[in-house]
Structure 1
Amino acid sequence: MIAARSSRRLVRWLVGISAMVLVALVTPTAAQAADVPVPIPSSSGLPDRGVGPVSDADRDFVVKVRLAGLWEIPAGNMAQQKSKDKRVRAIGKAIAGQHVTLDNADMKVAKKLGIMLPSTPNADQQSWLAEMAAANSTTFDSIFIDRLRAAHGKIFPAIGIIRSSTRNDSVRRLAQEANQFVMTHMTLLESSGLVDYSNIPTAPPPAAQKGPVPVDGQMLAAAAGTGGVSGVNTSVILMVLAAALVAGVVTTMRIFRAR
């Protein structure tokens, strides 16, 4: 009698463990990590000593960060005065205030590296500000959002190139900080619901592949993300393991029932 109860408990235990393992196998990794917060890279651990050669691209980047502040600060201030939309006014305030912080960081880097900075916006930026100044309360919001979103979209990939390629530690840190500011501003602008994505330039087509084309097995392995044997799909492996677990549980139950 005791042996029978022990056998039933063992069978229930095996079934429970198998169910837990099956759930772990079939649950996508992304779902398991859904609650993990997305890390935001900090620049506090990066040196800022002005060490390293400064390229022409580095100098151009520092100048462009300054130019961005020269027109986006007054544009943000204008949004607070002209827009009747509470959300747009808040976006303008946030962007203007954050560009003051970024502008101060940019001027420190420029002074350290001996880079001359402009004191007025360029011709295009002045025309955008004039367009906003001439707009009425009905047309201002869409002009403000579209012009700033387009400008951020152009500078965003350029920041990534500088961040990954510069040899100067101060420029590298400034690029990381600018990247975080621009990403924040793009998100703020898009949260208005006024961005006309049809006017945003699309990405260029990928370059034609050079060299031999991967065989089907290699392409399947890359698509499945196995990183192992070519042509083996992760889902197939999981299904085989799950079937083996079920078969093991069934066999164990039959053995105990026979006893």
Structure 2
Amino acid sequence: METFFNAEYIIRLFLALALGFSLGLERELTNKYAGLRTHILVCLGACIFTLLSIYAFPTFATGDNVDIAQATGIRDTSRVAAQIVTGIGFIGAGTVLRNGPMVFGLTTAATLWIAASIGMACGAGMYDVAIIATVLSVAVLTLIRILERQLLPSSGKQVRRCKIVIYLNGNDVEKIYNFLNSYVDNMTDFSSKKLLENPEKSKVSSIFDLNNKRMMKEIYGKLRNIAELDSITLQELND
């Protein structure tokens, strides 16, 4: 009689959860769209689908090949697992945004792709591959960022004149003003007004200087945490 719980499956699921947590934590701490929950669920889901693909379906064989397949354990284990690679592309695409010349979310999309592969490795019982891949991925996400700042300190260092236009829900205009005033240089032309067609929404705009192009992406991420944004456009006026 088979037991209700299979310890090996449970171990694989919990390992996928832990490794997905490790990847998601880094994204969460850097204020990315896909954070802890998304990475955990992607990694866990990939593990489950891989387990199903390997163990859940009857032997794939017909006619005279049935006995041979049952004796040797041959199964078409790639059918379900192969669709993970395709399906994760749709989730990753949802994290990629473009705002003028800037593209946001490519690294997060790649991290979700890695999370799915780590979940598949857990489901297949390749614990060493899953753990080492997680360690390497977290190292790339954290250490490379530090190296970029140390080795490329002058990247995009010229002063850039930028214009920001924000449509927000609610009345967080003061929070936005305080943040921009403390974060950017030479802020001018700050204005805000209620939308006539929807008084619950406001339009905020301003012009300011940035000393580093990377700050454009940082501003985008930080503003999402202090206000309920409907849309945001950040344009470099130097171009």
Structure with a larger share of its residues in strand: 2
- Asked which structure has the greater CA Rg, the reply is 1
**Greater helix share, structure number:** 1
TM-score, normalised via structure 2 length: 0.26
Higher relative contact order (CA 8 A, sep 6+): 1
TM-score (norm 1): 0.24
